[in-house]
Amino acid sequence: MTYAIRFLLPCAVLVVVSPLAAEDRPAKEQPLDTSYLRRHAETRGFMLGRPVKPKFTPDGKAVLFLRAEARVPKLRLYEFDVATSKTKELLTPEALLKGAEEHLTPEEKARRERQRVSVGGFTDYQLSEDGRLILVPFGGKLYTYDRQKGAVKELSTGKGTLLDPKFSPDDKKIAYVLDYDVYVYDLAKDKEGRVTTGGTEMKPHGLAEFVAQEEMNRFSGYWWSPDSKSIAYQETDHDGVEVWYVADAAKPEQPPSNQFYPRPGKKNARVRLGIIPITGGKTTWVKWDTKKYEYLTRVGWWQKSLVFLVQSRLQDKLAFYQVDSETGKSVAFAHLEGIRCFGFPEGSPKRIRHGSTVLFLLPRDKSWPAHKEGLPTGTYDLYYMNDAAFRLGIVPATALEKLLDVDEKGHEVYVLAHTDPTQLHVFRVDPFQPIRHLWQRIREPVQMTRAPGIHSAVFAKDFTAHVLTSTTLDNMPRSTVHKADGKLIGELPSVAEEPPFKPNVVIEKVGDGEGYYTAVVRPRDFDAKKKYPVIVDVYGGPLHLQVVAAMRNWLLPQWLADQGFIVVSVDNRGTPGRGEDWETAIYQKFGSVPLEDQVAGLKALGKKHPEMDLKRVGIHGWSFGGYMSALAVLKRPDVYKAAVAGAPVTDWEDYDTHYTERYLGLLPESKKAYEEASLLPLAPKLERPLLLVHGTADDNVYFRHTLRLSNALFRAGKDFELLPLPGLTHMVPDPVVTQRLHSRIARFFQTHLGKPKG
């Protein structure tokens, strides 16, 4: 659960409507113009048609990228020539399908659900180290595209479900998982070979388990050795793990799908790590203290050794191990204890190309001397390991978010970091200067992006050029190609439609003390003489920022504001980008701290902006935001007068282990924290209108959550509305849905909050 959804799901059934106090009823339902909603949904928020996943060819002469048409959610493969700035189409799904339809296996659908991928076509591709071949998985098959010949070849892989293909470092082979075992395809011999044996659904080889994909941002379960002669792979033993089923009640003739789903206090999957030659044979199993360190979070290679990061179940201890690939014996070269790990940054560990240094972003360890002096801000620090030592580099005045790339020759590291939580910038920093101690403040980082907004970058192999992808409050995302000195070379062409308006949004910090970052979206025809009902667009949970300087995030809130509201967002304690104390303040306090901050931020906004009518406040959100919305009307009906809760977690004992135990602790010793966070005991207190919305096929926040809350409300004699969405998951791609459901949400709030006054 790491994000908030801006697209909601298809509607189905209305159950019960709440009676309203007379003073809360508008005189007449206002008509809605929903044409924008349809356009917004068909263009996926005006994101279709924009370049995604840019990658430089090894010689730096071209940039490959994926792009869809403006209203067709199928990605195609393109190539941008750096010298001429011209773009050509390389490959299309239609060319491979030859008139047939794309079909996904249940396993591939589940993998895309974990990765939050809702488009079709080429959702991923890989480039060989020599730049000649492009590997394209599509429709359960593997294809290679020869850039020199312009030729496409389908590989003769075995039958079954094929997942996670990867080139070998020497470009001669491709590995993948086929029906629970790892295979290798020899490109020269045009032949498939089996690497592991005995993999089953209960004990698969080479696949990341559910919590690794959903919560650790790790989607692979095997790793090529640098010499291409062996593969490290994960074996996952699901014995004893609960199996949850998702059935489509609208299609009783279809059997339910199943998933191993570990819940707090219950058994986790047992994971072990092995190394095996690609020719097959005996696996050398890696040894570590699996009782102390239950989670395998990151794996990579350093020179000829395997390195991996493991984590305790409570997530207060981390250890980095180096493995002797011959014996499987592992040596811990770093222990971090007494930490509070709130997620793992992307891009870590990262091995320097052809070098002997590995870099990591890790949760800070307060025992380091540097931290005792209070030098860094943020939650993560930059560590690196080479032949000499395992050391800590400190990037001051930034909150590190992602490790992008490492320039071995230039001795520079490129990272994403927050200057404030509403912005994300690209920085260049040199942590490799001579160090006299195990810790030392490194030189000030160089900020490469300046425009207030959200930025990221992809670099050429020799770092002579980079692609910068940026969005601001005034512009949708653009991907531009630059020389190393920042000079513009060209732009990856977009065919996206542009939004018909610019959101009328202001981001500001309000409140006493540390304060809260907030966003205020006013109607485009805003009249300062009127008092407007307020809708809080909320997420409020860890790892996600709602208040960001990105235009695309405020398009739907702008449409909602245009229906006669002021829409606001507040980022409470627990959200990232403001340091460890801020981020960890919600530990075992899901049911109190986030809501307290939401109320405080809302009141601070109301005090500053008298046009906000704080006697008429509604709240809506999805996932953790759905939980927050329901919590708001259940605990603070004095503040929130109506709520729409989408896919809410209603009892945290029914969510997965890795996320939930990270924030609420282990059961049974932390039982009080779970009880304090649960919505179910609060059901008898409902006295405000509440609309619950949930997809019945949701395999992240199961439909069980909304069913249990609706049952508790019904038994308590409370009126509410329920919108079950048959066959739909946690994601929402359907254009009709966005149009109908968002108009339904607007009418719900018009009914219960009324229209502007004055």
| pLDDT confidence tier of residue 375, bands split at 50, 70 and 90 | very low
CB-based contact 268:212 (threshold 8 Å): no
CB-based contact 530:537 (threshold 8 Å): no
pLDDT score of 479: 98
CB-based contact 680:706 (threshold 8 Å): no
Q: How many CB atoms lie under 10 A from the CB of residue 625?
A: 29
Which three-class secondary structure state does DSSP give residue 216?
coil
Mean pLDDT of the chain: 88
pLDDT (tens digit per residue) in 615-662: 999 999 999 999 999 999 999 999 999 999 999 999 999 999 999 999
pLDDT score of 97: 81
* Pick from 618, 581, 597: nearest CA to 541: 597
Question: Tokens standing for 673?
Answer: 């924290």
Q: Are strands 690-695 and 642-646 parallel, antiparallel or unpaired?
A: parallel
Does the residue 508 lie in any domain? yes
Question: Tokens standing for 62?
Answer: 């071209």
In whole angstroms, give the CA distance from residue 172 to residue 201. 29
Res 602 pLDDT > 90: yes
Question: Tokens standing for 576?
Answer: 């990232």
In whole angstroms, give the CA distance from residue 742 to residue 721. 15
Is 146 designated active site? no
Q: How many CB atoms lie under 10 A from the CB of residue 708?
A: 18
CB-based contact 667:701 (threshold 8 Å): no
Q: What is the CATH number of the domain that holds 596?
A: 3.40.50.1820
CB-based contact 55:108 (threshold 8 Å): no
* Pick from 651, 617, 744: nearest CA to 693: 744
Distances (CA, A) of 354 to 46, 217, 226, 231: 40, 25, 9, 18
Res 606 pLDDT > 60: yes
Does the residue 245 lie in any domain? no
pLDDT score of 386: 63
Which three-class secondary structure state does DSSP give residue 605?
helix
Task: State which H helix or E strand residue 72 sits in.
Answer: strand 72-81
Mean pLDDT of all residues in 185-191: 97
pLDDT (tens digit per residue) in 346-363: 666 666 554 556 677 777
Specify which residues 382 forms β-bridges with.
361, 393
Mean pLDDT of all residues in 506-522: 97
Mean pLDDT check: name the lowest of 7-21, 424-438, 485-499. Answer: 7-21
Mean pLDDT check: name the lowest of 443-452, 536-545, 613-622, 728-737. Answer: 728-737
**Sign, CA torsion 306/331/393/574:** positive
Res 438 pLDDT > 70: no
pLDDT (tens digit per residue) in 262-288: 999 999 999 999 999 999 899 999 999
* Helix 735-753 / helix 35-42 crossing angle, nearest 10 deg: 140
Does the residue 636 lie in any domain? yes
Rounded to the nearest 5 percent, the helix, strand and coil shares of the chain are: 20, 35, 50
Task: Give pTM, 2 decimals.
Answer: 0.91
pLDDT score of 334: 74
- Choice between 735 and 212, residue whose per-residue pLDDT is larger: 212
pLDDT (tens digit per residue) in 63-108: 999 999 999 999 999 999 999 999 999 999 998 887 677 777 777 7
Mean pLDDT check: name the lowest of 192-196, 216-220, 700-704, 738-742. Answer: 738-742
pLDDT score of 366: 60
Number of domains in the chain: 1
Preceding amide of 726 cis, omega within 30? no
- Choice between 300 and 12, residue whose per-residue pLDDT is larger: 300
CB-based contact 475:481 (threshold 8 Å): no
Mean pLDDT of all residues in 14-22: 39
Candidate list 40, 705, 730, 742, residue with the active-site label:
730
Res 690 pLDDT > 80: yes
Does the residue 391 lie in any domain? no
Does the residue 744 lie in any domain? yes
Distances (CA, A) of 128 to 56, 58, 92, 135, 274: 11, 9, 19, 8, 25
pLDDT score of 365: 62
In whole angstroms, give the CA distance from residue 403 to residue 350. 8
Does the residue 590 lie in any domain? yes
Question: Tokens standing for 436?
Answer: 């006299």
Distances (CA, A) of 383 to 265, 288, 316, 442: 33, 22, 18, 12
| pLDDT confidence tier of residue 24, bands split at 50, 70 and 90 | very low
Mean pLDDT of all residues in 208-216: 93
Residues 6 or more apart in contact with residue 742 via CB below 8 angstroms:
8, 34, 37, 556, 559, 560
pLDDT score of 579: 82
Mean pLDDT of all residues in 156-174: 95
Candidate list 365, 597, 613, 698, residue with the active-site label:
698
Which three-class secondary structure state does DSSP give residue 251?
coil
Percentage above 90 pLDDT, the chain? 69
Does the residue 646 lie in any domain? yes
Distances (CA, A) of 549 to 51, 308, 423: 20, 35, 6
In whole angstroms, give the CA distance from residue 575 to residue 423. 13
Q: What is residue 731's DSSP assignment?
A: -
Q: What's the domain range around 511?
A: 22-44+498-753
pLDDT score of 437: 46
CB-based contact 688:635 (threshold 8 Å): no
Does the residue 67 lie in any domain? no
Mean pLDDT of all residues in 589-612: 98
- Choice between 134 and 303, residue whose per-residue pLDDT is larger: 134
Candidate list 225, 470, 494, 623, residue with the active-site label:
623
pLDDT score of 15: 36
